[in-house]
Amino acid sequence: MHRVPNSDRSPSRRRISLAGATTACFAALALLAGCTGGGAGDSTGTPTGSATPTSTGGSSSAPAPVALAAVITTSPQGDGKKISPAKPVTVSIANGKLTSVTMTSPSGKAVKGVVSPDGASWHNTEVLGYSKTYSISATGANGDGKPVTKRETITTVTPDNMTMPYLQRIGGYPLGHGATYGVAIVPIVHFDEPIGNETAAQKALTVTTTPHVDGSWYWSDSQNVHWRPQHYWASGTKVTVTAKVYGKKLGDGLYGQADTSASFTIGRRQVTIAHDTAPKSVNKVKVYNAAGHLIRTMNTSMGEHSGVSVKGNYINFYTLDGTYTVLAHEQPAKMCSASYGLPANAPGGYACENIYNATKISTDGIYLHELLTTIYAQDNGYDVSHGCLNLNAANSMWFFKHSMIGDPVEIKGAKHAPTLQVDQGGDWTVPWSKWLKGSAL
């Protein structure tokens, strides 16, 4: 390819001397230094010889920011809606701190409350009452000290009706706070009014155990809910039952009247098993300790395998199969056939009499008790009672002294015997799968 001569390299172009080139380079460097600053004589970055700005009005500063206005709010708000007295009322402040909060009852009494450590909120620590209007006056200030005030009124609900929860055990007996019970104890919450919303009521109930025990509630009817684990309790378990129903809506217009709680301990394990083998052999009541060792064997006569109809009502004389619990010790128990619908002058009826060493195990009157007139039947395999387990004096006294409220008594083997029901005290007879279905949750 033909190469075109470079005109810059033409012999006719003027040449620059070395001295002139050196002078031009120094001038360029000086110009560059003047543009970028940082000359050798100024470590601050101000070009050497450049002017320094001067102040004409003294020191200059930005104006101080203005603090935002403080705003006080209450929760729940007094917007005409009536609130539960169990729900705390909170007073909060944004962009500041509270300096004073007063909540006053209709009678003029100040409601107790506490301010948070950061001064940003207050809430009442005293439970409010039903059907009352409370006045709130709150003051605070923002960062500039500018005050703000909030006044509010709130009104609590007025129940159409209230229900009180009572903590009980099987048989309607009070659940004793601080008591020790056997391994089959069943705590019950009894409401003195039918519950319209069992789900809401059950959410207000808790059973706390140490160590932890899984269990479930079972509604036997609209007023009674029972709690038990799948198997007997372990000895030494600490149990607390709490009904926190105050301020809770439990039905249409129905609210809880007050909260209640009770704690108890599970005692030593003792299980009694009675086999109805009459007339083939003598019935035996056997008592086992925690290790499963047999500690007592007792002869008994149980319910005769029959019944009688009175005015269309069939009265059963069986000792029902199922798991009972020890409910009470009575010394003596007053027993009358009329108490279960059989008149004293009817066939098989009897007048009231005192029965000694009587340990009650069902709500409808089944006992282990002394009955000396049936010792012949106890020792020879005859069932002659109306459902109770007859024992001699020594055996009935031993069981009376050595059984504990809540001990299980398992009765088995009576041919054609009906099964013990929950309303008779047969909570442990209910299969676990069915028990779980009795929960409202």
Q: Count CB-CB contacts under 10 A for residue 12.
A: 5
Catalytic residue among 190, 226, 275, 369: 369
Strand-pair category, 165-169 with 187-191 = antiparallel
Task: Answer for the pair 379, 282: CB distance below 8 angstroms, yes or no.
Answer: yes
Radius of gyration of the chain (CA): 44
Half-sphere exposure of 345 (CA within 13 A, CB side): 0
Quick check: helix, strand or coil at residue 272?
strand
CA dihedral 384, 388, 392, 393 (to 10 degrees): -140
Q: How many CB atoms lie within 10 A of CB 165?
A: 28
DSSP 38: -
User: How far lies 117's CA from each of 70, 100, 101, 120, in Å?
Assistant: 18, 14, 14, 8
Distance from CA of residue 329 to its chain's centroid? 32
Question: 242 and 208 in contact (C-beta within 8 Å)?
Answer: yes
d(CA 165, CA 81): 27
- DSSP codes, 42-96: -TTSPPTTPPPP--SSS---PPPPPPPPPEEEEES--SS--B-TTSPPEEEEESS
Distance CA 388, CA 367 (A): 5
The verdict on whether 388 is a catalytic residue reads yes
Q: d(Cα 113, Cα 327) in Å, to the nearest integer?
A: 45
Q: Is 226 a catalytic residue?
A: no
Catalytic option among 190, 226, 386, 388: 388
Q: Report the catalytic residues.
A: 369, 388
